[in-house]
Structure 1
Amino acid sequence: ISYGKERPVAVCDDISCWSQNRRAVTVLNGAGS
């Protein structure tokens, strides 16, 4: 299951939201591997 551009954690241009999305994707990818 991939949660990235399809289902972002937070939809906004704020750097904090972008960082939150990156963190979520990294955790999910690490757990999936």
Structure 2
Amino acid sequence: CARSRRATPTARSRPAAPPPSPTRSAIGSSWR
């Protein structure tokens, strides 16, 4: 249960990941 509560703050950081998501997709193509 305590881990689920810690996951809440992490979920707030996930919304900030979507913007960089497209950039990571381009980086992944360059890495390959």
Q: Confirm or deny a common fold (TM above 0.5).
A: no
Q: Based on CA coordinates, which of the two structures has the bigger radius of gyration?
A: 2
Structure of higher RCO (CA pairs closer than 8 Å, 6+ residues apart): 1
Structure 1 length as normaliser, TM-score? Answer: 0.38
Structure 2 length as normaliser, TM-score? Answer: 0.38
